[in-house]
Amino acid sequence: MLRLSTTLSLLSLASLSPHHPRRLVRLRALAPAASSSPSARSLCLLEWGKVCRAVASFAGTAHGREATEKQLWGVEDVSYERSRRLLQETEAAVRLLGTSGGSFDFSGLDTVTVEAAIQCVSGGSVIKGQEAMAVVSLMLFVESLQVTIRAAMRQDEESHNLLMPLTETILEAVVNKSLVKSIQDIIDDDGSVKDTASPELRRYREQVQSLESRLCQLMDRLIRNSDSEASLSEVSIVNGRCCIKVTGDKSLSFDGLLLSSGSDAGSMIEPIVAVPLNDELQGARALVARAELDALSKLTDKILLELDNIQILLQETITLDKVTARAKYSIAYDGTLPDLYLPKFEHETVNTATDWPVSATSSAQLPKKPWKVFIPNAFHPLLLQQHQENLRRIKKDVASATAEIRRRRIYGQDIAEEDQLASDLDSMKNRVSKLERNHPIPVDFMIGEETTVLVITGPNTGGKTISLKTVGLASLMAKIGLYILASEPVKIPWFDAVYADIGDEQSLTQSLSTFSGHLKQIGAIRAQSTSQSLVLLDEVGAGTNPLEGAALGMSLLESFAEAGSFLTLATTHHGELKTLKYSNDSFENACVEFDEENLKPTFRILWGIPGRSNAINIAERLGLPLDIIESARHLLGTAGAEINALIMDMEKFKQEYDEQLQQAQHYLIPGSFIITWKWRRRMLWITLLLSGKESQE
């Protein structure tokens, strides 16, 4: 049974405070430097830090946000067992959010002030009123949480078993209602000490009010009785003493003490007759301050007795805020709970059977084929986040513009400007429609159990790199306890590390070219990757002579297939790498689809199909002279043209299969099985023919 930690040292609490002097330095240290280990640099290349900040933004407290980001950055050190517990925590929080609604809003808690209260009391100082009220808010919030959690657990046995590991500690926490009442009896909502805190305080405050009233009457009388030609201003307070502000130069009708003067501000004069009352008022105020301090001191002693419990409540609240942030993020982007498995190796054969049951939350079932990775309709989290934020922002602008037009019509204001607002509103609505149509395109990842290296080919800007980043981020998200932004069901292995070599960055500090920089990173990845690692290589073999680059790329991928990572995904423009599938069963091909009619990529991945060259066909559609086109095709050779023709047939058959399968599933007719078998038989024949053609080359 999972039991969360219930201890939090004052030192660790101090380090969580956003006002702590070392906080900025510590937060910068969360992100690994580019020159650090290959896995740490890979996190930067995958933009993991942006995902961490996006998830942390769903936490309601300052401590929760920092704790969430810190936990996510620690993804490299998370074990398989820990990953499973994190996913169970997130699933439990999703269940709680579904049953409790707004009861899990942590934004009203001031954990920074609660931390200050703990430090103040533990250090022997007297607690402030606002700090005491922050402690009350924490205790009342925990009490409300306990009621909500118990109600959710009573729904059914499954909910009870799911929620207990996450909430056991906070349910066992004792909220001292007597202390809450004591604080509320003494401290007002604004943090001030109530008159009812003690009889002495009430008496001294009444004395202060009486003296202030007498002083006001005296000052008012002096102003009325003074020479009308003298420029007397209002009654003012200087250092707690009541005086009269004089701006004229003529003599006054009363004697007084000059407290301050200035050419612009005038002179502050304390009338002699007001000096005794001011002295008495100062003394009464000192008595009030002493009585307030006595009341706060007694309250501090009571809080000190409950300090350990308050400390536990704060830590458990931060922990729950952290888990809830993961759940809220997963819900906001419609994520799916993944089936995370730990691969077992028996006689060099991968066995993906897991020792953890698939959650009942996922109603969809995996196809019967043994999959190493199965992620249908996977979204890149940062692209999806950017799209939703843009859509939310423009919809907010539409709502504001609509309200402004309605307000102007009600009050009949500036009809001409209203026409301009209406035009702007139409423009914004068009932008909303355009954004809704241009939704990010998801990618299917369906990698068979026997595949160790996947080679993805296709045109530039076709989505190859985004696809690599998507599967890399999905792996990290599942490992750290986040839902994957994809459709059900999702099956993904637990990777001990995700290594990536993506982009065209040059290492200027080490005087490395783009090609040398890639080789250095890949070499480090090859040295550190294990049989449980995920390796992502973008444009492998690029940046040098094509023939040498292709040979080097083939050698590298074969090395990873033989004794490298558990799974390697590589993108390339080298056609030679596509042939590895036909000599090594560990390889599989995929390509990004290209729409030749509109001359643009569709951002869809076609699995099991090698990419083909589109350059000559594109050139022909763009109107390049036919003699140049024919010469290019002649130079390419008939074998290459036949291969491209076969690949075109495969793409066509694949599209026909998808359309017919969807139609068959829609009408639920048995013919879908016939279609599937026919398509597979034709694909097998084309693959064999393609293999023979390439071997002849």
**How far apart are the C-alpha atoms of 344 and 573, rounded to whole Å?**
34
Q: Quick check: helix, strand or coil at residue 12?
A: helix
Count of C-beta atoms within a 10 Å radius of residue 402: 15
Cβ atoms of residues 148 and 96 within 8 Å? yes
Residues 92 and 209 in one domain: no
Residue 695 lies in a domain: no
Residue 397 Cα to chain centre, angstroms = 24
| Number of domains comprising the chain | 4
Residue 662 lies in a domain: no
pLDDT tens digits, one per residue of 171-216: 888 899 999 999 999 999 999 999 999 999 999 999 999 999 999 8
Q: Quick check: helix, strand or coil at residue 6?
A: coil
Q: What is the mean pLDDT of residues 494-500?
A: 94
Q: What is the mean pLDDT of residues 249-268?
A: 72
The percent of residues in the chain predicted with pLDDT above 90, rounded, is 38
More confident residue, 354 or 334: 334
Residue 653 lies in a domain: no
Cβ-based burial of 156 (10 A; exposed 0-12, middle 13-18, buried ≥19): exposed
Residues 122 and 180 in one domain: yes
Q: What is the pLDDT of residue 370?
A: 83
Q: What is the pLDDT of residue 546?
A: 75
Residues 429 and 518 in one domain: no
Residue 573 lies in a domain: yes
Cβ-based burial of 386 (10 A; exposed 0-12, middle 13-18, buried ≥19): middle
Q: What is the pLDDT of residue 25?
A: 33
Residues 108 and 190 in one domain: yes
Average pLDDT, the chain: 79
Q: Quick check: helix, strand or coil at residue 113?
A: helix
pLDDT tens digits, one per residue of 525-544: 998 999 999 999 988 877 77
Q: What DSSP character marks residue 461? A: T
Q: Which of 636, 660, 680 delimits the end of a domain?
A: 636
Residues 175 and 278 in one domain: no
**pTM exceeding the 0.85 threshold for the entire prediction:** no
Residue 648 lies in a domain: no
Structure tokens at 322: 């952290």
CA proximity to 280, closest of 213, 219, 193, 202 = 213
Q: What is the pLDDT of residue 91?
A: 94
Q: How far is CA 609 from CA 128, 380, 504, 590, in A?
A: 70, 23, 27, 5
64 has pLDDT over 70: yes
Structure tokens at 636: 């390419």
Residues 254 and 301 in one domain: no
More confident residue, 220 or 23: 220
Residues 320 and 173 in one domain: yes
pLDDT tens digits, one per residue of 615-656: 777 787 778 898 898 888 787 765 455 555 555 555 566 556
CA proximity to 613, closest of 577, 652, 646, 575 = 575
Give the CA-trace dihedral at 612, 615, 617, 621, to 10 degrees: 140
pLDDT tens digits, one per residue of 143-156: 998 998 888 888 87
Residue 271 lies in a domain: yes
pLDDT tens digits, one per residue of 667-688: 554 444 444 444 444 454 444 4
CA proximity to 487, closest of 371, 331, 335 = 335
Residues 431 and 508 in one domain: no
Q: Quick check: helix, strand or coil at residue 447?
A: strand
Q: What is the pLDDT of residue 676?
A: 45
Residue 6 lies in a domain: no
**How far apart are the C-alpha atoms of 697 and 678, rounded to whole Å?**
29
Domain that holds residue 420: 381-438
Q: What is the pLDDT of residue 335?
A: 94
List the beta strands (DSSP E) in 504-643: 533-537, 567-572, 587-595, 600-607
Residue 27 lies in a domain: no
Backbone angles phi, psi at 302, to 5 degrees: -70, -40
> Tell me, what CATH number does 181's domain have?
1.10.1420.10
Residues 220 and 326 in one domain: no
List the beta strands (DSSP E) in 480-532: 491-493, 497-501
CA proximity to 89, closest of 277, 324, 383, 313 = 324
28 has pLDDT over 70: no
Cβ atoms of residues 401 and 425 within 8 Å? yes
Residues 499 and 567 in one domain: yes
Residues 139 and 248 in one domain: no
Q: Which of 594, 614, 636 delimits the end of a domain?
A: 636
- Residue 403's pLDDT band (boundaries 50, 70, 90)? confident
Residues 206 and 157 in one domain: no
Q: Which of 266, 288, 310 delimits the end of a domain?
A: 288
